[in-house]
Amino acid sequence: MGLSDIRTKIADAAREAGRDAGEVSLIAVSKKQPDARVEAVLEEGHRIFGENRVQEAAAKWPGFRERFEGIELHIIGPLQTNKVRQAMELAQAIHSVDRPKLARTIARIAQEEGHCPDLFVQVNTGEEEQKAGVLPDDADGFIEECRELDLPVKGLMCIPPVDEEPSLHFALLAKIAARNGLKGLSMGMSGDFERAIALGATHVRVGSAIFGERPAEG
Ligand SMILES: *Cc1c(COP(=O)(O)O)cnc(C)c1O
């Protein structure tokens, strides 16, 4: 596939859902991708990228930022509290806010620094033990806690279980967002972004369908 194919599919999916394609941000997930592939996508004019590890983002993006204007970086992976300051320096959005301690750390650093990235609360819609995110039953309370800390929560994020129909999870996320008055929905990856758009995604996180398969680790 590639960037322009994905853009076309996003536009088609939005039209089919009676939505404006401009409502859907494409986050190109560049984790583990060779720099040359990332650079090619930058050369094509794309500027919104996602990384799931702060350390990798810190190694990769300052260099690209020297050469390309207007890069917007989204941290989409689990965030340790000792990486929060670095994440907030690097990124314009964090999609993995999922526990009170993390929320309080972000709030404290935001106070000190006078700015805060856009935040998404990650919801573990599949209630999977190994997965990050607040449980659906705890989401309303946690969102309220974030608001009491004056955090700029823009929406919710989920990663559906691999072996289940993702649409059920997207619909659940949309429902939790709606009852909390949140507009942002970060959902949909290479295999399911069209279904996510049908159910209201405002941010799709697409990696391998743009860049190709990630090289094996090692
Ligand atoms: C890797 C990753 C993606 C992108 O996955 P692809 O299947 O390559 O599109 C999206 N979201 C998160 C949180 C990821 O870690």
pLDDT > 70: percent of the chain: 99
- Show the ligand 1 pocket: residues with CB < 6 angstroms: 29, 31, 52, 76-77, 159, 189-190, 205-209
Helix (H) or strand (E) holding 184: strand 184-186
Domain residues for the domain of 48 are 3-211
% pLDDT > 90, the chain: 98
Å from CA of 114 to ligand 1 middle: 30
Q: Give the residue whose CA is nearest to atom 6 of ligand 1.
A: 207
Q: Are 118 and 74 in contact (CB under 8 A)?
A: no
Could you give the number of structural domains in the chain? 1
Classify residue 133: in a domain, yes or no.
yes
Question: Is residue 78 a part of any domain in this protein?
Answer: yes
- Ligand 1 mean position, distance from CA 25 (Å): 15
98-136 tens-digit pLDDT: 999 999 999 999 999 999 999 999 999 999 999 999 999
**Is 44 within a domain?**
yes
Asked, for residue 49, whether it belongs to a domain, the answer is yes
**How many C-beta atoms surround the C-beta of residue 78 within 10 A?**
16
CATH code for position 181: 3.20.20.10
Q: Looking at the DSSP assignment, which residues form a beta bridge with residue 59?
A: none
206 in a domain, yes or no?
Answer: yes
Note whether 56 and 31 are within 8 A (CB): yes
Placement of tokens 């090289």 in the chain = 215
d(CA 194, CA 72): 23
Look at residue 216 and tell me if it is in a domain.
no
Question: What's the mean pLDDT in 178-195?
Answer: 98
In a domain, residue 155? The reply is yes
